Structure formats: structure tokens, C-alpha cells
Amino acid sequence: MATARFIYDNPYKCSDVYYATKFLAPDPLVYFEFRGKKYIAVDVLEYGRAKKEAKVDKVLLAQNYTKNIEIRKGFVIEVMDVIFKKFGIKTLEVHPNFPFALAEQFAKLKYRVVSGKSPFFPERSQKNTYEKNAIIESQKATFKMIGLVEKILIESKIRGNRIYHKNKLLTSEMLKEAVLIEALKRDYMMTTGLIISCGNHTVDPHDDGEGFILPHKPIIVDIFPKSQKTNYCGDATRTFCKGKAPLALQKLYSTVKKAQEIGLSLIKAGINGRTIHGSITKYFDSLGYNTGKIKGAYQGFIHGTGHGLGLEVHDGEPTIGALDCVLKVGHVVSVEPGLYYRNIGGVRIEDIVYVTKTGCEILGHYPKKFEIL
């Protein structure tokens, strides 16, 4: 066969590279598998560290295959052609995200280039004990951060149409800064930001929030930090309301809370995510919480129920949504129904779970308290 499985990507940008090597470097990395062995090729700048840190069978030093000492750009083609020829490799089964231009260049050098399956490492979605524990640790930290926001909301006072914390007008920016500092001290990084939105901002699930935190309005706190130590993520959402919530908002909250319970009760190995998502949608519909274009804007349950989580906040697999995806033992997935209506606001509640044969374990625990009076 003489086929190598081959990735060329930045481990900070493509978690599959990190997954395969346990090595982080700021520039793209060559990784390949051949005859059951794992290799990376790096230049002198990374060689020392790679030898120490990379969990592969062999670290190849690019300079042994080229004359240049600085080979960043011409690296892959020139060096890998020499290496692949030496190994007798003729077919490259590349990562689905392999750069198209590079694939073309290898094809010109007479390699047969075929796309590897997606996901490239199917086993990545089923977490082992180390990974599960790493996620639990990250999820605990996530809840500490949500707890910090709740604490500030508890300490705050409503005056008129504003909220004050220690006599300062409370804003989304202040809360985010407090969370980010907490994250930092715990050695977590927000690789794609965080959401602390209030009022009208909550109607758009990806609006990360800005400006005043207002009383009697929904406050969505969605935090998804990545551990700098293990590189595994946490992800959780709570919706709060400082002061009494209007009745429609109270109802929205209890509906979403119940929907999450429905989702959690259905999860187990063998079930199709689509079934779970369908049950929640049906539940919402049955109460008149419809989804679709309302007065020109998409409203209702306008996102999936859950996404896989691991080295990335949004891992490719599994999903709980409109697409078929059968859950397996060891899958870690979020359960986060939400409802978003212009005239009421947005509510989302999210936990992550570990799928078992008979159900699921919720990873990390945090109360679901809505109104903070």
C-alpha cells in the first residue's frame, strides 16, 4: 500500500494535530503515520522541545533532509518529498482540512493524494478517563466563573432602571473582565471569547453582550474556557435575572429548564441526537413556543441542542440537532436548549454530559437559580 496518513496544520488551530502529538507549536506542523508509527517533522527551532514533549514514535529533524537552516515556507514540499521517498510512501491520505494548494503540489510530484475520513481520528470523540477528568476539571472552573458573576449580581443593587455594584454602574464589560481575570488565575484561556449579554442582546445567541446589565431582564452567562494545562475545554450557560422577572420571561425560563431536563433524560448510548432535538422542539411547539421567521426575524429555538466538546469548545462530533448522529459511550456533549423572542428576551441553560450505556453523567454541577432578588 505504502500509504501515509498526513496532516499539515497549526496545533493551535487544528486540535487533531495536538490530539495526535500532544505538542503545541505556533507554526504549522508536519505529522504523519506510516506502518503503525507516528512521526512529526520539525525544524531546529522546535526540535529540542519536540523531542521532549511530542508523544510520537519519532521526531524527524527537517535539516537532516535539506540544506537550509530556515525552511519555514519551503518546508513541507521539499522536506517531505525527501522523507516520503525514503520511506517508500506513494499515497497520502490527508486530513480533510489539508490545504488544497499543498495537495495539488504533492499531486504534481506524482503522489496519489486522497482525503482521509472526517473525523480523521474518530476515537477523539469518545473520551478516555484522562480526558473525562480533564473536562470535569475545566467544567468545575467554568462554574467557578459563573459563580463569580452570580456573586456580583447578588452583591449588586437595583436603583431605578440600572444596577450598581459597589456604587459602580454594572456593565457586561465589568463582568467579563472579572471572569477573564478569574480564568487567568486558574490558567484558563477564552480562545473564542465569552458571552455575558443582557436584555435585547440575549435575543441573538451569539451576541457576546455589551453595555449596561439591566434589572428585570434576562442575563445570559455562557462561558467556555480552555485549560492551558490540559488543553481541554469546559462550557456552561446559566441565565439570570436581577430583580423580579416579568411573567413571560419567568415562563420562558421554566420552559427551557424543563426542556433541558427532557434532553438530559433521553441521552444514552445508541440514541440519535436528532431524536432528542426533535423531542425538545416538539415540547416547545406544544407550549406555543414556535421556531421560525416571526416578523422578519428568526426566533424560537434557533440553534441545535448540543455539540461535542473536548480539545475544542465545538468539537465536530457528536451533535444533538437536526442531523443524524448516534451517541456513543464516552461522547461528551452539551445539552443547551434555548428560546429567543424579541418581545421577551433569550434564555439558555447549558450543561455538559458524559454519555454512558444507560444514560449520562452530568459533568460538574451548578444550581439553576434564575431570579436574584
Angle between helices 100-108 and 75-87 (to 10 degrees): 50
- Member of 180, 236, 249, 327 binding a second copy (CB under 8 A): 180
Segment interacting with a second copy (CB under 8 A) among 163-171, 175-183, 326-334, 358-366 = 175-183
CA–CA separation, 95 and 190 (whole Å): 26
Neighbours of 109 (CB within 10 A): 12
| Smallest distance from a second copy to CB 221, Å | 17
The reply to whether 314 sits near a second copy by the rule CB under 8 A is: yes
| Smallest distance from a second copy to CB 37, Å | 23
Pull the grid cell for residue 107: 499531486
| Smallest distance from a second copy to CB 129, Å | 27
Site string for a second copy, 4-43 (x = CB under 8 A): --------xx-----------xxx----------------
CA–CA separation, 9 and 31 (whole Å): 8
Q: Is 131 helix (H, G, I), strand (E, B) or coil?
A: helix
The reply to whether 319 sits near a second copy by the rule CB under 8 A is: yes
Pick between residue 216 and residue 314 the one whose CB is nearest to a second copy.
Answer: 314
Site string for a second copy, 248-287 (x = CB under 8 A): -----------------------------x----------
User: What residues numbered 51-80 form the site for a second copy, per CB under 8 A?
Assistant: 63, 68-74
Q: Are 335 and 353 in contact (CB under 8 A)?
A: yes
User: What residues numbered 79-118 form the site for a second copy, per CB under 8 A?
Assistant: 94-104, 113, 115-116, 118
Q: Could you give the dihedral angle defined by the CA atoms of residues 265, 268, 273 and 274, in that order, rounded to the nearest 10 degrees?
A: -70
Q: Is 362 helix (H, G, I), strand (E, B) or coil?
A: strand
Q: Are 180 and 193 in contact (CB under 8 A)?
A: no
Neighbours of 31 (CB within 10 A): 26
Q: Are 263 and 276 in contact (CB under 8 A)?
A: yes
The reply to whether 290 sits near a second copy by the rule CB under 8 A is: no
| Smallest distance from a second copy to CB 182, Å | 11
Q: For residue 59, what is the enclosing H or E element?
A: strand 58-61
Q: What residue type is 344 in one-letter code? A: I
User: What residues numbered 188-227 form the site for a second copy, per CB under 8 A?
Assistant: 189-193, 204-207
The binding site for a second copy (CB under 8 A) comprises: 12-13, 25-27, 44-49, 63, 68-74, 94-104, 113, 115-116, 118, 177, 180-181, 184-185, 189-193, 204-207, 277, 291-292, 297-298, 302-304, 313-314, 316, 319, 321-323
